[in-house]
Structure 1
């Protein structure tokens, strides 16, 4: 299972629907304004998939010419770029995950598994996890936990700390998060944070609802 969503199989209609159905953070809420017109302009210029659009938007220096070419406002494209890049989390060093012990990280890194993307690809099936366990000497139960933590960071907004909270709360797969009742998940996360002090403060119910929705887009 790839770490990232398949941008080539996500057309612009799918992207538009995702943005419209998402409770966007305030700084990106304007993306829904004239979204149908803006996306029609993009499609008219040959941008038919998320891959097409992301390739053009990936470098901010391309945005002025893209705005001129499509007639879509520059500021709108800047926000669209930020939203899209949020669907593709950057590789994380294994030391970013509190659940990994130093010795375990060293063993995994000796196998060339130095970040979240590489480790996910190496653990994305039961057979692969068994092989890595045998190769590194790390217990299979620990390898399973590593995979859960890494896999959950594929969800937009989920940091290593948030992944640890989800696992501790019993929501250790993307499917379980996507099918969760937001209120129940909120209470579970609040409970484990109080018990184990993952971070100071309190997670909001609205943020939990965003996480549940975001998880539904990750296959």
Structure 2
């Protein structure tokens, strides 16, 4: 499957069901109404999956053009594009993880690996991780830590700091996050941060629900 989910695999019909169960932040509320009607309009214009949707809504001029063709409001299409693009979150830079030493960062950079997207294919199995360990001169324990940070970084909204928080809280893989109870995840992370003061931002219960929903959309192909 890869670091990102294949957007061609999510049909417009399947995305209707996803939207109907999604937790929306205020700026996404426009997507809550007329889900079937609006997405059927996309299908009527030969948009069959989320990959084709992003191609059609590539930039502002494309959004304006499609709005005129379809009758769907520009602001609706702009929000829809933004939400779908969330399936491809920006990878975290290895050097931004405070739990990874500068020496390890430099060793990885010498092999051409600077972020979690580049690292992903190098940590999928024990055998591949062992090869990276030998090639880069990094211990197996550190490679496993990098593996879990990379896995967690695939989840939308999980930056380098929150990947570390999830790691330290015991929700150290994307699959564990996907299977978590959002209230328990919230309480665990709240307690951890109260004890260790890892981050200053407010992260609420709804944030936990959205992170879990994002994790549930991923494939879990890393072998632990």
Do the aligned partners of 1:190 and 1:202 also contact (CA within 8 Å) in 2?
Answer: no
How big is the shift at 1:37? 1.1
Contact 2:91-2:154 within 8 A present in 1 as well: no
Query: Is 2:102 the counterpart of 1:102?
Result: yes
Corresponding residue for residue 63 of structure 1: 63
Partner of residue 205, structure 1: 205
SS in 1 for 2:203: coil
Q: Deviations over 1:131-150 (max 9, x none)?
A: 11111111111111111111
Q: Which residue of 1 aligns with 2:222?
A: none
- Give, in angstroms, the shift of residue 201 of structure 1: 4.5
Deviation per CA, 1:15-67: give whole Å up to 9, x if none.
Answer: 22222211110111110112211111110111001111112223222100111
TM-score normalised by structure 1 residue count: 0.95
Range moving further from structure 2, 198-207 or 36-45: 198-207
Larger deviation: 142-151 or 91-100?
91-100
Q: Tell me the residue number matched to 1:9.
A: 9
**RMSD across aligned C-alpha pairs, in angstroms?**
1.3
Equivalent residue, structure 2, for 1:83:
83
Distance (Å, rounded) in 2 between the aligned partners of 1:123 and 1:60:
37
Asked if structure 2 preserves the Cα contact closer than 8 Å seen for 1:99 and 1:146, the reply is no
- In the TM superposition, what is the alpha-carbon distance from 1:196 to its structure 2 partner? 2.2
1:121 corresponds to: 121
Give matches, 1:1-219, under 5 Å.
1-219=1-219
C-alpha displacement at 1:195, in angstroms?
Answer: 2.4
What is the CA–CA distance in structure 2 between the aligned matches of 1:53 and 1:201, rounded to whole Å? Answer: 33
8 Å Cα contact 1:54/1:81 also seen in 2: yes
Q: 1:48 to 1:135 in 2, by over 3 A?
A: same
Which runs of 5 or more residues in structure 2 are unaligned? 220-224
Q: Which moved more, 1:169-178 or 1:67-76?
A: 67-76
3-state secondary structure, aligned to 1:145? helix
Structure-2 separation of matches of 1:137 and 1:69 = 56
In 2: Cα distance, 1:48 partner to 1:201 partner: 38
Ranges of 4+ aligned residues in structure 1 off by more than 6 Å: none
Distance in 1 of aligned mates of 2:53 and 2:208: 28
**TM-score, normalising length from structure 2?**
0.93
